[in-house]
Structure formats: C-alpha cells, structure tokens
Amino acid sequence: METLSYGSAPCCQVVNSNWKSVDKSSNSRKSKVSYFANHGVDCNSYRISLCGSVRFYDMVLQQRGFRPQNSAEGSRRIKLKVYSGNYDGYVIGEEESRDISGLEEHATKVLIPGLPDESKGESEVSISSCFREWKPKLNIHYEKAGCDNLGSSHVLFLPGFGVGSFHYEKQLKDLGHDFRVWALDFLGQGMSLPFEDPAPLSKEGTTSNGNISSWGFGDETEPWATKLVYSADLWQEQVRYFVEEVIGEPVYIVGNSLGGYVALYFAACNPHLVKGVTLLNATPFWGFLPNPVKSPRLAKIFPWAGTFPLPSNIKRLTELLWEKISDPKSIAEVLNQVYVDHSTNVDNVFSRIVEITRHPAAAASFASIMCAPQGELSFSETLSRCRTNNVPICLMYGKEDPWVTPFWGVQVKNKVPEAPYYQISPAGHCPHDEVPEVINFLLRGWIRNLESQGSLSLPLLEELDSIKHTIDRELEFPREGSKKSVMVKFLGSSVSLWDRIRSYIKSDSKFRNLAAKSQ
C-alpha cells in the first residue's frame, strides 16, 4: 500500500490545498501525492495541519455503500482527521452509518499500518539471539532488536507458559524500528532450559518409560540445582537481574498470560525499574501450593514443591501426562483453541513448541513448574502495589480468549480504573501474535503518551477528556495483499455497569455485521 509520508519539525506545519508545498524546515521524505489522485481523492477538498510524522493510508471510500458523486459531496460525507499526529499520525475516516437500533451515529474507522513487508521494500529489523549466564549452570536465553536506537525507550516482552521469546517475533521486527526491544525465555522454558541434568540418574538407574527424557528423574541433585524450583518468585528475580545487568535502564514491560502475571509481580517489587506495564490477557493467578514465606505452616503440609529430584510418585504422574501433553496433535489442538482467527499462520509457533518438548530437561521442568508454590504476592496484591507506587498500567485483551475471558480483564480495570483498557475482537489468548498490527499500534501510542507526559493523546482518543467514555473503533490494516478489520473497544474510567453491558451488546452487533460483510 502506497503512503504519503514525511517527517516534520516539532512545530505545526500546514500542507496547502494543492498538496504542493511543505515548510522547507522539515527533513521530509518524498511525498507520493499521486496516491491520492489514483484513488479518487480530491486533494483540493482538504486542508490538514500536521504535527510530527504522518502517514496517509488508503481511505477505502467505497466501503459501506459510500458513493460520493463529486468532491464536494465527498468532503461533506467523510470527515478526515489527523489522529495523534505526533506519533505516527493515522488518518481517521468517519462515515455516517446506522447501528442495529436504527439511530444515526458516527462509526469511526481507523486505518493503521501492517507489519513491515520486505516485498514492498519495507525493512524488518534483524533479531539477535543471545545467552547470558545468571547463576552457575542457569543460562537465560533472550532476543533483542533495535538496540542501535540509542536514546529510545527499552521495551521488554515476557512470554506465556509453554512458549518463549520467539512468540514476540512480530513485535521485535516491527517495534525495533522505534524502540530497543527485548524478549526473554523464563528459566525452565523456551531455550532457557538447563544445559546439564539437574538430577542425573545413577549408573544403575533407568527410566521407567523409554519415550520420556531422563533429565531431572534421578535420585540426587547436583549442587547448582539445590533448591531450584521454576516458580513465579524465581522468574521475578530473573527479570530483575536481566533489567539491572543486561538492559541497565528502566523498561516498559509487556507480558502475555503467565508473562503478564510475572510482569506485574516484577513491577510491584521493583517500581524503580519499570516505566510502565502492559498486560496482554494476563493470567490472574499462578501456582497451586502455598508460598513457604507467606504461609510457612501451611506449606509444611506439602512434602514436595517443585524442587529436584522429583519424588517417585511425581515421576510416574509426569510420565503419564507428558506423553499426552507433548504430543504434536495435542499442541495443535491447544493452538487451535486459543487462536480465534484460524487463518493466522502458527506454523513457526507450533514447530518451536514441539522443539522445546524434545529437550531432555523439558518433562521434569514441566513438573517443577506445575508443582511450584504460589508467588509471595498475589495478582491482586501486585495491582495494589503498582497503584500505590504510581506504576502506569495498560490493558490489551483479546475478547474471545477461552481461558482469560473478558471477565478477568474487566476485573483488573475495576481495580485500576485509570488504566487504559483496550478490548480487541476478534482476538483470543495471544493477541500480540494474532493481531500484531493492532497491538504494535496501541503499544506505540501508549508509550509515547507516557513519554510525552500526556501531551500526546492515548491511542484511539482524539481528546484527553475522552478517557471518561467508552468508545468503539474499527481498525483496518493491510495483511498479505488484502485488508483485515477488527473492532477495538476503549473502556473509560467513568462508565456505569449498564453502559458497559449496552456497549458490549453494541460491539457484538458491529462485529457480526463486520464479519458478514467480509464474507
């Protein structure tokens, strides 16, 4: 898709009605004015003031039955605005339409960019894969991109359970143009599995199941693995080490599912290292056994809590479960469940998960994770601490998530009413991989809103006082030669329960109409 794009000086500049002159003080790229002529847009009808870098995308004037007969009618029926021009301003088209109740209202469509497309000369940021030893024999795998963007903000991504840094490839390749971007694998997952056996078998020992790997199934623990347990507390400490020793500066931290829980936990314990937290369908709890620090007496009731070696009964249970869980068919079924849009290509995610399950330490690590104690802080307690320490929080949730349903996202919003809440539909448990265009757009806008100390409006909000309202936006973006649309709801901080229910009903209706139209 062609774009009209240029960079401008901090001051506001004006493009004249013939789109021919721009203030010479700007260091601009060549504008592709022919794009508007080729798409039937009368440039003489518009006069737009611009601040910052602005990109104009195809306005799709012919959709929803709009048939302008002339430029005057077009300018009357379509209202063009520059949305948040200071951070990749995107043109908004407001079209008159009717909702299911028959009442006249403005349905706003926001056109955002797709992911970088190398076939169109758009470069992807290269990703570097690295290892860092934290403690003896415990190596952290991470990926990074955009580290040459000196002076830009650091953004750290934390993965969900069972995946790794590879799950954020679409963020690293895109957001790496603007930020210094990092993604790490939690210890015991991804490529942060141990390089050596934490509890090797004795010479006489054998595995009870020839199909399962043997690492961690021995009878004696290696010195470096003493008291090792893959828990939320360990991961919180891991993130702290990584931010302090590898990144070296406070970060914006983003977490999906389990990663969201750990991101919030880390922020609650280390507010001085966090500039903001974004939760992507964050799981609101983790762990089943009591925490030994928080509930020492209750914890003593349980003889084992995820340490090595595994007890004999846990070994047998793990062997039974692991054979089913690690089966490629089971992995495919889970991906089919959590990804709402089945047209999303998950081949790479699938192959990487299968690869992880074949690591000799994977089965015992899984057992340690599932039997690890709860974190010292609950999800609710981390939210309270973050609010007390004024840690900015942003919520981006896929509406059709079968695991972390909208109920949980709204619960977080109720506890942190000032947090921007973006509900995306259709999108499931992993919106960053299913609709990365939307997540990347919202992340850019939210971070720049914070970096500007509020002088730039939040994504999808044209005026700062709009934060008190619930609004719906249809976001459209290019993907693989076609166009895709999703609905995004912004939930304001001063909305009654009835207004939320009514807004959900209206949003569902709009989505059904959108789905029917796409078919």
Nearest to 283 by CA among 397, 116, 131, 369: 397
Q: In whole angstroms, what is the distance from residue 412 CA to residue 379 CA?
A: 10
Burial annotation 460-485 (CB, 10 A radius, 16+ → b, else e): bbeeeeebebbbbbbbbbbbeeebbb
Q: Hey, is 98 helix, strand or coil?
A: strand
The structural domain count of the chain equals: 1
Q: In whole angstroms, what is the distance from residue 194 CA to residue 265 CA?
A: 24
Prediction pTM value: 0.77
Q: In whole angstroms, what is the distance from residue 279 CA to residue 276 CA?
A: 10
Which stretches does DSSP call E strand in 342-415? 393-398
Distance set, CA 323 to CA 38, 188, 441 (Å): 58, 18, 40
Place of tokens 């959709």: 63
Domain enclosing residue 291, as ranges: 111-203+212-507
Q: Say if 183 falls within a structural domain.
A: yes
Specify the CATH number for the domain of residue 177.
Answer: 3.40.50.1820
Place of tokens 């942190």: 416
Q: What is the pLDDT of residue 274?
A: 98
- Give 37 or 329, the one with higher predicted confidence: 329
pLDDT-derived band at 75 (thresholds 50, 70, 90) equals very low
Nearest to 132 by CA among 187, 61, 77, 60: 187
Nearest to 235 by CA among 371, 370, 359, 140: 140
Q: Say if 5 falls within a structural domain.
A: no
Q: Name the DSSP class of 45.
A: G
How much is the average pLDDT of 329-348?
95
Q: What is the pLDDT of residue 24?
A: 36
Q: In whole angstroms, what is the distance from residue 113 CA to residue 5 CA?
A: 12
How much is the average pLDDT of 262-285?
98
How much is the average pLDDT of 368-389?
96
> Does residue 97 carry a pLDDT above 70?
no
Which range, of 99-103, 126-130, 438-442, 499-503, averages the lowest pLDDT? 99-103
Q: What is the pLDDT of residue 516?
A: 60
pLDDT-derived band at 303 (thresholds 50, 70, 90) equals confident
- For 417-472, the pLDDT digits (tens) are 999 999 999 999 999 999 999 999 999 999 999 999 989 989 998 655 556 678 89
Sequence-distant contacts of 336-339: CB under 8 A, at least 24 apart: 337/402, 338/401, 338/402, 338/403, 338/428, 338/429, 338/430, 339/428, 339/429, 339/430, 339/433, 339/434
Place of tokens 């506001």: 12
Which range, of 16-25, 311-320, 492-501, averages the lowest pLDDT? 16-25
> Does residue 304 carry a pLDDT above 60?
yes
Q: What percent of the chain has pLDDT over 70?
A: 71
15: left (phi over 0), alpha (psi -120 to 50) or beta: beta
Length of the chain: 519
Average pLDDT over the chain reads 79
Helix (H) or strand (E) holding 106, with range, is strand 104-111
Rounded to the nearest 5°, which phi and psi values hold at 248?
85, 5
pLDDT-derived band at 257 (thresholds 50, 70, 90) equals very high
pLDDT-derived band at 68 (thresholds 50, 70, 90) equals very low
Q: Say if 383 falls within a structural domain.
A: yes
pLDDT-derived band at 481 (thresholds 50, 70, 90) equals confident
Q: Name the DSSP class of 28.
A: P
Nearest to 484 by CA among 111, 198, 203: 111
How much is the average pLDDT of 4-29?
33
How much is the average pLDDT of 58-75?
36
Q: In whole angstroms, what is the distance from residue 436 CA to residue 478 CA?
A: 12
- For 186-224, the pLDDT digits (tens) are 999 999 999 999 999 876 545 444 445 679 999 899 999
pLDDT-derived band at 72 (thresholds 50, 70, 90) equals very low
> Does residue 99 carry a pLDDT above 80?
no
Q: Say if 441 falls within a structural domain.
A: yes
Q: Say if 478 falls within a structural domain.
A: yes
Q: In whole angstroms, what is the distance from residue 36 CA to residue 49 CA?
A: 17
Q: What is the pLDDT of residue 63?
A: 35
